[in-house]
Amino acid sequence: MADCSRPVTHGTEKNSLKMKGISLERNRTDAVKSTMNKYKAWERAKKAWRESKSLLITIFILTAVRSAIADWNDVPTGSMNPTIVQGDRVFVNKLAYDLKVPFTTWHLAQWSNPKRGDIVVFFSPVDGMRLVKRVVGLPGDRIELANEQLLINGRPLQYEPLPADTGHDVPPDKDGLRVYAEETAGGMPSHPVTILPQRPALRTFGPVTVPAGKYFVMGDNRDNSNDSRFWGTVDRNRIVGRATMVVLSLDHEHYFEPRWHRFFTGLL
């Protein structure tokens, strides 16, 4: 007689094997789908690169040129009034003194140094912002300011009054009376400066001697300029280039109206 107490497992084993087979097949299908999705993503990335390669290379070349050869700089403040006014965009010749590795301050070659009177663009030693100022002191120079009169190596610069309309492009402010004068010194081109007699300012300074490899810079707006009188000299390797021209000018006080007469004017 057959033993009826023994459990019957054949059907259960078949179902278990069937489920394992389905699970393995599903895993293989998922693996294939995953591989196909990765392949499609790779093909899409290659297609996007092919379509955008020229544009990306062009952008890289243009930014490299701006970084190492030429650029323009917006001037939002009045520290260089009346030579440069708020809303001017100045052309910066980055090959004026040297050639740098793009996007760095590393020098590949150097053929000149800033001269007294040059308007330079540089990275601020305080916060790294790009600033525009005039070089008044070279390495070894002795700089002094005595009641608004600049002295270089003990020799006072000469000042001649200029008419009030010298600053006709300077936006109105709360500094009161403006006085314009032409500043002249040996070895430096004559240029206008602004004096604000009603504004509290540092009108007497120094004397100080400019260290080797550094430059003393000031704004032409002598009574409203944050410059070497306050934070010291500028390292040679922080100087980006020389500002040589106003490329365009927009009047921020009158809905960014173009100042056409300032377009493409040289800077002294």
Catalytic site positions = 79, 133
Token duo for residue 55: 């544009």
Question: What per-residue string of b and e applies to 124-139 under the rule 16 or more CB within 10 Å gives b?
Answer: eeeeeeebbbbbbbbe
Taking the C-alpha atoms of residue 147 and residue 145, their distance in angstroms, rounded to an integer, is: 6
Question: What does the radius of gyration of the chain's CA atoms come to, in whole angstroms?
Answer: 34
Q: Which residues contact 202 (CB under 8 A, 6 or more apart)?
A: 145, 229, 230
Taking the C-alpha atoms of residue 64 and residue 92, their distance in angstroms, rounded to an integer, is: 14
- The β-bridge relationship of strands 239-251 and 179-185 is unpaired
